[in-house]
Amino acid sequence: MDTFAENFLNLDVVGDYVPDLLAGMWITLKLAGIILFFGLASGTALALVRMVRLRLLNLVILVFVDVARALPPLMLMVVAYFGLPYLGLRLNGFAVACIVLAAVLAAFTEELLWAGLSTVAVGQYEAARSTGLTFLQMMGSVILPQAFRLVQAPLLSRIIATTKNTALASVVAVPELLSQANTAQGYSGNASPLTAASLGYLAIMLPMVIVARHYERRQRPE
């Protein structure tokens, strides 16, 4: 028991690495913020483009969505980080992580939102159009709010999964929370920084999980 405390709950060791871990946590938050914003926005945009029903464009979207959902994001990141330079495109790890995870989130968001959009009653579209709203006004004020509400539970779990996936960025040299903890563990020969990092993840994730639970409860039929 003492050895466990010594190796995993060693406050002296953690104390040495607190600044590094906080810096890592900040990068994790930045990654998550950027990825969630661009992933949700472009997923929504893709769903809207798909509404226009141009056959070729929809085919392109479908292929993108299915491929992005099928491949492991870790593999995509590694391929982009180590492979793209051979094509003359050199991106840093942070950019690669943002692009890959945002693209994967966009694919899931598009697919979920599309299901939601198809569920909104036809009469809602007709009522909006009959009052003279433009397509974008109709989507923005009438249809999308209802579609998001319909898919909020699965979308929130996808948001949580995406936020956790920022830890994958450690393999492409982004000094985020997990990466900092790993480095600290290597230098100190002690696993306590990992314990501290998991507390950091809990601090980020728990509020999201609680919010998700709240929405899930709200969505149950009355």
d(CA 77, CA 98): 9
For other proteins, the closer CB: 88 or 123:
123
- Shortest distance, CB of residue 136 to other proteins, whole angstroms? 10
d(CA 190, CA 171): 21
Please answer whether residues 195 and 139 qualify as being in contact, where contact means their C-beta atoms are separated by less than 8 angstroms. Answer: no
Which helix or strand (DSSP H or E) is residue 90 part of? none
For other proteins, the closer CB: 92 or 131:
131
Q: For residue 186, what are the CA distances in angstroms to 6, 16, 51, 93?
A: 16, 13, 51, 21
- Shortest distance, CB of residue 94 to other proteins, whole angstroms? 37
- Shortest distance, CB of residue 128 to other proteins, whole angstroms? 8
d(CA 14, CA 201): 15
For other proteins, the closer CB: 134 or 198:
134
For other proteins, the closer CB: 90 or 214:
214
- Shortest distance, CB of residue 222 to other proteins, whole angstroms? 8
Binding site for other proteins (CB under 8 A): 121, 123-124, 126-134, 137, 141-142, 145-146, 149
